[in-house]
């Protein structure tokens, strides 16, 4: 029955997308056969008013009708232009995570259930909501410390959002399985794997203890950084469904007039924003991955404060070196080195030619060097780079795509503050400083130290590895002699799973088909 209900929810979502004109806004003229017929049918059923809106506005209206879980789906797919295409990813990135507030009484119930204490014991004052998003909303409150009142922000999970999300998640998985089964060309995009990633990231985002931990980690990393910080966490008043943190007094970065009126130097703020982001990415390998201007405040002294750390990105040492050497290689026009880094990192398969790949890199870099520095977009450079690497069979790497998406947003904010913003001049001190410290003599010493630790760990595990190798050798000998065999229980389970999958797929298709026929009959 869960498959049937998932099918109905999937049909409803499709119907909303049709009625709001999202499907009609797709480039259907390029289609042929049945897909083109479906696109024309969708245009027929689109609301007349929706046809007057831009595609991004149609998408926003459809997502609001579908509910919070579709907002998160849209924001997630905005980080996957390899799946939805660059144009659609840009439209999805514009989705505003703003929802209606829920009653204060329900927030109080959620806090008390999560922390096991009365709100009156936790807060001296607990006010009405001041902002609401798809997963949670924020309340202004006060706590008492050493006899003095301290203003805090309290983030509370939206009631029922987990149940609603997991219900819709069944529909997402059904759509992904059907896509993989009936559209072979889409299998390279791994829709089921993409859906699993969405499920995992949203589970993390819906546990506010993990967001608190991310704020704490980023706070420790940036405690000595000039001009950037994150709010401190009140761990006593934080649980799975509630996060209490320092209240931030400042001007939102999307209020350009307010920043100017407060006397802030917009050029200094834009440079500080980019350098802070690159510092977190290269130095720490941990960055705020949702740095849109609504999540950034500027305090009276010019310090940038980043809030809402539900989405964070991580880069390993190899990925950080990859990013730094690529950016520095483009700055110095060393395209061969940029190509070599891709091969050394294992991103491009060895069967390809390094010189040919360097030629493709040059095709990106040379046009850029012919432009004024203030017009060169690092985000656009990374986008072009990933497009070229697809030609050389570079596999999709989610951590790099999340970095690319965040870079697009951060650079866009910087250029809003300073239209003549020089990305390369601003980034060069951070990038070259990281390269000098990590790829020079000091970096070699650190690598040698890490290598020695790895060898020591391997030496300690040598007896266990030898025993495993011996067992594996015996198993391979037995397999070669008798062949690979499943026990009866495993074979029976595989048969049942295959039969259940086939039945559920056929049933879902019948449900979708009958529902569409019913909708068409009601309209006609």
Helices (H), 67-189: 68-77, 81-84, 86-93, 104-115, 119-122, 161-182
**Matching CATH number, 97-247, of 3.20.20.60, 1.20.1290.10, 3.40.50.150, 3.30.200.20:** 3.30.200.20
Q: What is the pLDDT of residue 405?
A: 73
Choosing from 91, 290, 308, 418, the catalytic residue is 290
Residue 482: partners with Cβ closer than 8 Å, 6 or more residues away: none
pLDDT recorded at residue 398: 62
Return the domain boundaries, the chain.
1-96, 97-247, 249-439
Report pLDDT for 140. 95
For residue 175, report the phi and psi dihedrals to the nearest 5 degrees.
Answer: -60, -40
The SS3 call for residue 228 is: strand
470 catalytically annotated: no
Q: In 3-state terms, the chain is what percent helix, strand and coil (to 5)?
A: 65, 10, 25
Partners of 251 in beta bridges: 298
Helix (H) or strand (E) holding 136: strand 136-145
Query: What residues have CB less than 8 Å from 424, skipping those under 6 apart?
Result: 331, 373, 376, 378
Tens digit of each residue's pLDDT, the chain (524 residues): 467 777 788 888 888 888 888 777 777 666 677 777 777 888 888 887 777 777 777 877 787 788 777 877 777 777 666 566 666 766 666 665 567 889 999 999 999 999 999 999 999 999 999 988 888 999 999 998 888 899 999 999 999 888 888 888 888 888 888 877 877 766 766 778 778 877 887 888 889 999 999 999 999 999 999 899 999 999 999 999 999 999 999 999 989 999 999 999 999 999 999 999 999 998 999 999 888 888 899 999 999 999 988 888 888 887 888 778 877 787 778 888 888 888 887 778 888 888 988 888 888 778 766 666 566 666 667 667 766 766 777 666 666 667 777 887 888 888 889 888 887 788 888 887 887 777 655 555 555 555 566 566 666 676 776 777 777 777 776 666 666 565 566 656 666 655 555 555 555 555 555 655 555 555 55
Helix (H) or strand (E) holding 251: strand 251-252
Indicate the SS3 state at residue 99.
Answer: coil
Q: Residue 1's pLDDT is what? A: 45
Give the helix/strand (H/E) hosting 296.
Answer: strand 296-298
- The two tokens of residue 409 are 């947003």
User: Residues 324, 278: contact at Cβ < 8 Å?
Assistant: no
Q: Maximum distance among all alpha carbons in the chain?
A: 82
The pLDDT value given to residue 84 = 65
pLDDT for the residue numbered 428: 80
Sign of the four-CA dihedral 286, 290, 295, 299? positive
């Amino acid at each position: 029955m869960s498959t049937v209900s998932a099918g109905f929810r999937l049909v409803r979502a499709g119907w909303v997308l049709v009625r709001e004109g999202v499907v009609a806004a797709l480039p259907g003229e390029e289609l042929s056969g049945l897909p083109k017929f479906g696109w024309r049918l969708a245009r027929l059923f689109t609301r007349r008013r929706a046809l007057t809106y831009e595609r991004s506005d149609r998408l926003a209206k459809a997502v609001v009708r579908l509910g919070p879980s579709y907002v998160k789906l849209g924001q997630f797919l905005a980080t996957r232009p390899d799946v939805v295409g660059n144009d659609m990813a840009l439209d999805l990135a514009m989705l505003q995570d703003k929802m209606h507030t829920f009653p204060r009484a329900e927030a109080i119930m959620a806090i008390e259930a999560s922390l096991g204490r009365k709100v009156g014991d936790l807060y001296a004052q607990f006010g009405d909501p001041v902002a609401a998003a798809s997963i949670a909303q924020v309340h202004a409150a006060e706590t008492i410390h050493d006899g003095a009142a301290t203003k805090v922000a309290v983030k509370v999970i939206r009631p029922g959002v987990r149940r609603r999300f997991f219900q819709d998640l069944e529909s997402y998985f059904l759509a992904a399985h059907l896509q993989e089964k009936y559209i072979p060309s889409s299998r390279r995009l791994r829709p089921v794997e993409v859906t699993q990633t969405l499920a995992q990231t949203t589970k993390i985002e819906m546990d506010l203890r993990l967001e608190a931990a991310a704020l704490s980690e980023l706070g420790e990393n940036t405690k000595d950084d000039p001009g950037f910080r994150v709010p401190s966490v009140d761990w006593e008043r934080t649980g799975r469904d509630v996060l209490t943190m320092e209240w931030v007094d400042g001007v939102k970065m999307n209020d350009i007039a307010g920043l100017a009126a407060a006397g802030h130097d917009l050029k200094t703020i834009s440079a500080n924003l980019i350098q802070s982001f690159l510092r977190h990415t290269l130095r720490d390998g941990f960055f705020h991955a949702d740095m849109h201007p609504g999540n950034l405040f500027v305090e009276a002294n010019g310090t940038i404060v980043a809030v809402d750390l539900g989405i964070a990105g991580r880069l390993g040492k190899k990925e950080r070196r990859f990013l730094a050497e690529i950016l520095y290689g483009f700055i110095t026009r060393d395209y061969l080195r940029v190509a070599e880094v891709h091969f050394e990192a294992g991103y491009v398969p060895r069967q390809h030619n390094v010189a040919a790949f360097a030629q493709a890199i040059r095709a990106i870099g040379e046009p850029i060097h012919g432009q004024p520095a203030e017009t060169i977009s690092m985000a656009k450079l990374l986008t072009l780079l990933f497009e070229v690497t697809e030609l050389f069979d570079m596999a999709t790497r989610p951590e790099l795509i999340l970095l690319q998406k965040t870079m697009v947003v951060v650079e866009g904010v910087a250029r809003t503050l300073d239209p003549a913003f020089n990305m390369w001049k601003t980034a060069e001190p951070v990038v070259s400083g990281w390269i000098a410290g990590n790829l020079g003599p000091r970096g070699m010493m650190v690598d040698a130290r890490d290598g020695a630790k790895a060898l020591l760990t391997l030496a300690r595990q040598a007896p266990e590895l030898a025993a495993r190798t011996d067992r594996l050798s015996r198993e391979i000998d037995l397999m070669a002699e008798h062949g690979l065999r499943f026990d009866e229980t495993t074979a029976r389970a595989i048969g049942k799973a295959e039969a259940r999958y086939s039945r559920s797929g056929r049933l879902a298709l019948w449900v979708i088909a009958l529902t569409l026929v019913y909708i068409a009959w009601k309209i006609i």
